[in-house]
A and B are shown apart, each in its own frame.
Chain A
Amino acid sequence: MMNKKYLHLLFTLLITVAAQAQKPTLFMGATAHLGNGTKIENSAISMLNGKIEMVADASIIRIDPSAFDTIYRVHGKHLYPAFIVPNTTLGITEIDAVRASHDYNETGGMNPNVRSLIAYNTDSKIAKTVRSNGVLIAQVTPRGGTISGQSSVMHLDGWNWEDAALKTDDGIHLNWPSSYYQSGWWAEPGTTKENKHYNESIARIKGLFKKANAYEKSSSLMDLKMESMKGLFNGNKTLYIHANNANDMLDAISFTKEFDIKKMVIVGAEDALKITDDLKENNISLILNRVHRLPSKVGSPVDEPFTQAAKLQEAGILFCLSYEGEMEAMGARNLPFSAGTAVAHGLNYEKAISSITLNAAQILGISEYCGSIEKGKDATFFISSGDALDMRTNNVEKAYIKGIEVDLNNHQKELFNKYKNR
């Protein structure tokens, strides 16, 4: 078996070398967290032409050094698939207080046609500080209105948005009306009241979807909004419904069924634990709120946000973590630590890795390229000298996007180096 594998490897290598006169790069000895819930303590992982070439256990195979172009000995270090931050404004905002830098909130309530893709700034200073913590992929998502627009999944490196794009226009984001609303304003919140317009708002959404459905079947005239929604009915696009109340999520699920939306994901899902049966029955996956948040209610258990992931895991729901909320773009670099907090509160470590890698890739529909360390997938991964979920040890030494090494320097490190040696 082992020999066969080895032979197979050699054979492949020979062919590749012969065909392209290029040898793979090998990473030897790292603890590889594969993203699929398992790990290899002493791994041998190679990449070639931007793809993962081999995933093996170095303690049970023999490696022929001459078969590789470069060999990195990374014993005692950790190798992870790229962490993925879904549902973020990273790349389409730069400074919270500077309106001119905001490209995430278009005017109007129903904007299924607008695309974050083309506003994505590949030279965002923020993105560079995010990828140096291991987060290499982001689902760049517009905000605001009832339908905010379309997100795209982007690599956090690229010359332009075309080559940074991993999946363009992956889905449409619908902010489900809340059955209750918060009166007052942020500095002076009032009481929460029942939203008397809830049904009216839903009727409006349904009206739009009915129209879009009809358009998909019949229209020849170009209507940008209707056109953009076609993918929801044929399964090319995911409908991301942002909802938090149990009641609203259930309504969102029935809505999806009513319109025969092929792929729907709930984003937020504060109350998910109250409706796990419905979520399972309807095969709904979730993009969760930021782990580092306050409990939902005054008397809620103090660790309620920290334990939610472990409990959903136990309930068998597919979920990934996000970092939505205040300062979400620059805070995205803390996504790994929010997964670490979930580990402290009961989530299995490798499952926590999945919650920011493979789960996210599956939910965003990009798992054929990334999300796990698997032969044939993109060589988009990173190596940290220590446990990347713990801020105490997270130290990204090398990162690759499709086999190309990522510059881990950033504005902040430059300033650090400048003033450190003053």
Chain B
Amino acid sequence: MRLRFTILFALLSFYSLLGQETFPVNGVAQNFEPIHAFTNAHIILSPTAEIENGTLIIQGKQIIAIDSNLNIPNGAIVHDLNGDYIYPSFIDLNSDYGLPKAKKGKYNYRPQYESNKAGAYHWNEAIHPEIMASTEFVADEKTASTYLKNGFGTVLSHIQDGALRGTGCLVLLSEESEHSTIILPQASSHLSFKKGVSRQKNPSSLMGSISLIRQTFLDAEWYAAQKNQTNLSYAAVNNNQELPQIFTINDELDYSRVYKIADEFEIDFIIKGNGKEYSRIEEVAATEFPVIIPLNFPNSYDVSNPETAEWISLHKLKDWETAPFNPAILAKNEVEFCITSSGLNKESNFITNLRLAIKKGLSKQDALAALTTTPANLIAMDDKIGSLESGKLANFFIASKDIFENGDIYENWTAGEKHIITKKQEIDIRGFYTLNTDEFENKMVSIEGSQAKPKATIFALDSIALPTVLEGNNITINTKNGTFRVAAKFNNRSIKGKYQDSIGIYHTFNLQRDSLFTEDEKEFTLNIDSIIPSVWFPNKAHGFINPPKAENIIFRNATVWTNEQEGILENMDVAIKEGKIIAIGKNLDELVVFPETVKITQINATGQHLTCGIVDEHSHIAISRGVNEGSQAVSAEVRIGDVINPTDHNIYRQLSGGTVASQLLHGSANPIGGQSAMVKLRWGSSAEEMKVENADGFIKFALGENVKQSNWGNFERIRFPQTRMGVEQVFYDAFYRAKAYQKSWEKFNALSTKEKRKATPPREDLELNALVEILNSERFITCHSYIQSEINMLMHVGDSMGFTVNTFTHILEGYKLAEKMKTHGAGGSTFSDWWAYKFEVNDAIPHNATLLNNAGVLTAINSDDAEMGRRLNQEAAKAVKYGATSEEDAWKMVTLNPAKLLHIDDKMGSIKIGKDADIVLWTDNPLSVYAKVIQTYVDGKLMFDVEVDKELRERDRLERMRIIQKMSEDKTGGEKQKPQHTTEKLYHCDTEYDE
């Protein structure tokens, strides 16, 4: 069950105290509020209702009547709109209008581990739910006028800083005092994954932010149940619970990340999106979150130089083409959405981009709803704003025509207060006149141009169109050099006035209009571009147009590396079906293998080698925004599984090298790092779909130079530990804390239901939860390690605290204590030949894998490197070269052995009936430098094929050219962007920061 927020207090006595001032008045009281009647208007009441010719009557701040046939009350001020449009004014839910910008503290070379904020607040400066926008709000006329120009009447404003940001207030865009412009002081609660201006180390990664937010929610829950301490931040979290929760995301992958938090804590979030929802629309729709989207359509790129245009990646080209379709795509997928004017390069682009969205298939009804009723509903203010109805606030704007086509906004009224946007020219002076002065008689004068900007041509002068300024009925006409200047007034078909000649003598004149000027008005036609560009999986180069399906295949006559007792078999057939290996044998009879009639593909693999896919025990690809949460010595609470990036190009590259599964590890910046994610390289799928089903949980530990920050420069010498001696203490401390924690829960859980109600439950701690899992053999350790002494130490800690180190990774001195590892029960996953990059790898030897393997330690070879991850077969071959390991054993080091180390060997790591159909076909012995991948299957789905790859290159090139040509023709949008390379982030163990 999710909580549905309700805002009861919003309904209380909204304007019941209207007119009663709490301020002393200097002078005499002015209580009279006239009635305004807007007649002959085309009134858009709401997205679903309109009146072709109606009247709107308002008094004070409110609408008092609106209909097609209304009697105008006595004394009303009448505005004859003469067919102009009236719209309910827009609402923007993402604004920082009237609020100060958060200030970043002074930079300090030394890292800041603790909060610098004094008071009873959260320990982390990124968490400040206690901040209230309403206490900081000061109306700002200049910013307000920009919003008013774009048709907005109210905005939801919050200080856009930090993770738990505090509350937002709903304000009117008006010059009145804040007492009346703040219409709802506590309207919403705001969150994000960003740490904002905080200089505190934690969080230094996206996964750190996620854990920080989760732990804060847990702490707030615990806080409510205890009485021993005061924490204003937790109190605020609890107080804000009933408000609409608006979560600002960074990229489209964050939708599923927020969804997991929503699910865990039963919160209905509203998402402030990034405008790229189209690229993962199914995931966005599945969350059922309402979204607030910007109209931040990318400007086109300057593609005039073909060489620099090559820098623009295909996904950026596709984004340019598809982004304007985003609102239409959301509507089509029935996602509830609002539109915000934030996120634009220039505020003036708002209406332009809104109209572009309409041209790309967004209906006017949906557009209006996204700007009025939907935001009003989301903040439960639909009884006051969002549509035009008697009793609601008089928030509306008047436009010359349809605002979604080509209408200009004349006036924007907020709570009955008028703001002129474009002066409507009521008087039309244009026409053909006869001029009479004391100098001339019956000369022709024509006044043409537009109604607002007329141009006069006096044929007595030199027949040049003269700039004519019209201000009410006052007219001035000038020659450029100022030799002839006119001041006149228009009155009922005639213009009378004076002009001054070049020697300073005034002449009176009279213009009599003989005929009217008729304008040939261009009819506006709305052309809708209804062909939505195709979105690929992922929406970039090498992406699938249609995700592949599991195939039924018999591979014929291959050399099969089984990794089982049978060893390497010549001339064998292997059959796969529905993602599993179903038969292995010579000359398989397809009628026996596939008794039912199914579509079967036969692949002649004569001369080819067939193996299971490569499993990379140590990888940092496909991770978003940071691989290390090294801001604390222990960060067991963070999870790589929260930040998988399924669009990383290295997934496809590694498939082309035969890799099918990877353990995505936290980095090695601290002794106890974060939880790993076990993924299959399912290119084109979502982050959650990449995870291996029912895989055991793992966690990264680390030892040595990275952990003690040896190579982080002179200022990183504060965080404990700074020596190997300290590292040991971190482990003991952590596990003693975990044991005490476990005990306190056991004690609590042993209580009866009645007793539990009275007792305060222990505070749930995500970090200690993970450590308890280790103690319970529910989570397993992969430990980054180099030196004999430290490896020995951790095994001692494990033995004495009651856990086994599952895998030592890198383990470059493993060969020095292979026997001890075997006794302890640890496996090793090592580099084939890396060394000399740090002091602690002086004794790293390329014979390590062989020595470990020979000692009976379960041994794997891993990458830890995006480039090496696509040729791990070559790395395995180095065990043959350096240590004379047998080829079969060497091959297992990148397949079966890592699968065993990762506890997934029931599904992967060998060619065996019942295992996953993760198949690689090679041109040659896979350990040979000359071996190339022909095909890679994951779960029986063809993920890489050397022939398909060629077609994709062709397709991608043509797609590029198609969009580039379209871009060259593009006249819309502002300044062209300079082409830019898309830079990939490549992570290693010791990549420290990222946000």
Q: Using a CB–CB distance below 8 Å, which chain A residues touch chain B?
A: 94-98, 125-126, 180, 182, 184, 187-194, 246-247, 274, 292-295, 297-299, 301-303, 327, 329-330, 333-334, 337, 340-341, 343-345, 389-395, 412-413, 415-416, 419-420
- In the assembled complex, B907 has its CB within 8 A of some CB on chain A: no
Nearest B residue to A180, CB-CB = B981
Select which of B835, B878, B980 is within 8 A of A391 by beta carbon.
Answer: B878
Some 21 contacts from A to B, beta carbons below 8 A apart, are A95-B839, A126-B836, A188-B985, A189-B985, A192-B983, A194-B978, A297-B982, A299-B956, A302-B653, A302-B949, A329-B836, A330-B834, A337-B874, A341-B929, A343-B930, A390-B930, A391-B880, A391-B929, A412-B847, A416-B882, A416-B883
Residue in B844, B847, B993 whose Cβ sees the most chain A Cβ within 10 Å: B847
- Contacting A at CB under 8 A, from B916-943, are 925, 927-932
Cβ contact within 8 Å between A337 and B652: no
Contact between chains at B930 and A340 (CB < 8 Å): yes
Interchain CB contact under 8 A, A330 and B649: no
| Assembly CA distance A94 to B846 (angstroms) | 17
Indicate which residue in A246, A389, A392 contacts B880 across the interface (CB closer than 8 Å): A392
Smallest CB separation, A352 vs chain B (Å): 10
Interchain CB contact (< 8 A) of A301 among B315, B882, B953: B953
Answer whether A337 and B953 are a contact pair too, CB < 8 Å, given A329-B836, A394-B881, A412-B845: no
A188 in contact with B994 (CB, 8 Å)? yes
Q: Is B564 an interface residue (CB 8 A)?
A: no
Q: Are A303 and B656 in contact (CB under 8 A)?
A: yes
> Would you call A327 and B930 a contact (CB within 8 A)?
no
Closest CB in chain B relative to A378 CB, distance in Å: 27
C-alpha spacing A329/B834, complex, angstroms: 11
Instruction: Determine the distance from Cα of A96 to Cα of B988 in the docked complex, in whole angstroms.
Output: 15
In the bound complex, residues from chain A placing their C-beta under 8 Å from that of B649 are 298-299
**B701 CB to nearest chain A CB (Å):** 21
Among B541, B842, B851, B928, point to the contact of A419 (Cβ < 8 A): B851
Cβ A96 vs Cβ B878 within 8 A: no
Chain A proximity mask over B416-457: 1 for CB below 8 Å, otherwise 0: 000000000000000000000000000000000000000000
Chain A nearest CB from B541 CB (Å) reads 3
A246 — nearest CB in chain B belongs to which residue? B307
Once A182-B983, A298-B649, A390-B928 are accepted as A-B contacts, the answer to whether A395 and B881 lie under 8 Å apart by CB is: yes
Main secondary structure of the interface of B (DSSP, over half): loop
B710 close to A (CB within 8 Å): yes
Q: Which residue of A lies closest to B625 (CB)?
A: A188
Are B836 and A95 within 8 A (Cβ)? yes
* Chain B residues within 8 Å of chain A by Cβ, number: 68
B851 touches A420 (CB 8 A): yes
Query: For the complex, is B867 an interface residue (Cβ under 8 Å from A)?
Result: yes
Q: Look across to chain B and name the residue whose beta carbon is closest to the beta carbon of A349.
A: B930
Q: Is A330 a contact partner of B836 (Cβ separation < 8 A)?
A: yes
The 5 A-B pairs with the shortest beta carbon distances in the complex, nearest first, are: A299-B541, A340-B929, A192-B981, A416-B847, A189-B983
| Majority-rule SS of A interface residues | mixed
Rounded to whole angstroms, the CA-CA distance of A295 and B313 in the bound complex is 13
Shortest Cβ distance from residue A419 to the other chain B in the assembled complex, whole angstroms: 5
Q: In the bound complex, what is the Cα–Cα distance between A180 and B980 (angstroms)?
A: 9
User: When the two chains form their complex, are residues A292 and B871 in contact, meaning their CB atoms are under 8 A apart?
Assistant: yes
Q: Which of B833, B871, B932 contacts A333 (CB 8 A)?
A: B833
Q: Are B815 and A419 in contact (CB under 8 A)?
A: yes
B629 at the interface (CB under 8 A from A): no
**Could you say which of B540, B836, B882, B932 contacts A299, with CB atoms under 8 Å apart?**
B540
Whether B929 contacts A187 by the Cβ 8 Å rule is: no
Which of chain B's residues have a CB closer than 8 A to the CB of A395?
881
Select the residue from A294, A295, A298 with max chain B CB neighbours within 10 A.
A298
Q: Roughly how many angstroms separate A394 CA and B310 CA in the complex, as a whole number? A: 40
Q: Is the CB of B993 within 8 A of A188?
A: yes
Min CB gap A238→B, angstroms? 28
Report yes or no: B929 in contact with A337, Cβ–Cβ below 8 A: yes
Q: At the interface, yes or no: B711 with Cβ under 8 Å from chain A?
A: yes
CB distance from B64 to the nearest CB of A (A): 55
A97 to B713, CA, bound (A): 11
Instruction: For A95, list chain B residues within 8 Å (CB).
Output: 836-839, 842
Cβ contacts under 8 Å, A184 to chain B: 983
**Residue numbers in B under 8 Å from A274 (CB-CB):** 307
Interface positions, chain B 967-995, Cβ under 8 Å from A, are 978, 980-986, 991-994
With both chains docked as a complex, state the minimum distance between the C-beta of B949 and any C-beta of chain A, in angstroms: 7
Q: A327's contact among B816, B837, B883, by CB below 8 Å, is which?
A: B837
Q: Are A298 and B835 in contact (CB-based, < 8 A)?
A: no
Contact call B929/A297, Cβ cutoff below 8 A:
no
A395–B992 CA distance with the chains assembled, in angstroms: 39
A287 to B269, CA, bound (A): 56
Question: For the complex, what is the distance from the CA of A274 to the CA of B310, rounded to whole Å?
Answer: 12
- Do A415 and B845 touch (CB < 8 A)? yes
Given contacts A96-B837, A329-B836, A392-B929, 16 further A-B contacts (CB under 8 A): A95-B837, A96-B838, A98-B839, A189-B984, A191-B980, A247-B307, A292-B871, A294-B984, A302-B542, A330-B834, A330-B836, A344-B929, A344-B930, A344-B931, A390-B929, A416-B815
Interface string of B643-670 (1 = CB under 8 A from A): 0000001101100100000000000000
B843 close to chain A: CB less than 8 A = yes
Report which residue of A293, A337, A391, A419 has the largest number of chain B beta carbons within 10 angstroms of its beta carbon.
A391
In the assembled complex, the CB of A230 is this many whole angstroms from the nearest CB of chain B, namely 36
**Considering the complex, which residues of chain B in the window 812-857 have a beta carbon less than 8 Å from any beta carbon of chain A?**
815-816, 833-839, 842-847, 851
| Alpha-carbon distance between A389 and B877 when the two chains are bound, in angstroms | 12
**A389: B residues at CB distance < 8 A:** 929
Residues of A within 8 A of B986 (CB): 294
Is B866 in the interface zone, CB < 8 Å from A? yes
Residues of B near A189 (CB, < 8 A) are 983-985
A291 to B226, CA, bound (A): 62
What CA separation (Å) do A371 and B985 show in the bound complex? Answer: 39
Q: Which among A193, A333, A415 has the highest number of chain B CB atoms within 10 Å?
A: A415
Whether A302 pairs with B652 at a CB distance below 8 angstroms is yes
Q: Min CB distance, B532 to chain A, in Å? A: 22
A390: nearest chain-B partner, CB-CB: B929
Across the interface, do A302 and B656 meet the contact criterion of CB distance under 8 Å? yes
A194 to chain B, nearest CB (A): 6
Residues of chain B with a CB closer than 8 A to A182's CB? 981, 983
Interface residues of B in 782-832 (CB under 8 A from A): 815-816
Bound state CA distance, A186 and B668, in angstroms? 17
Interface bits B40-76 vs A (CB < 8 Å: 1, else 0): 0000000000000000000000000000000000000
Q: Choose among B310, B838, B847, B871 the residue that contacts A97 (Cβ–Cβ < 8 A).
A: B838
Contacts of A188 in B (CB 8 A): 985, 993-994
What is the distance, in angstroms, from B868's C-beta to the closest C-beta of chain A?
8
- Residues from chain B with Cβ under 8 Å of A394 in the complex: 881
Q: Which residues of B contact A295 (CB under 8 A)?
A: 653
- Closest residue to B868 on the A side, CB-wise? A292
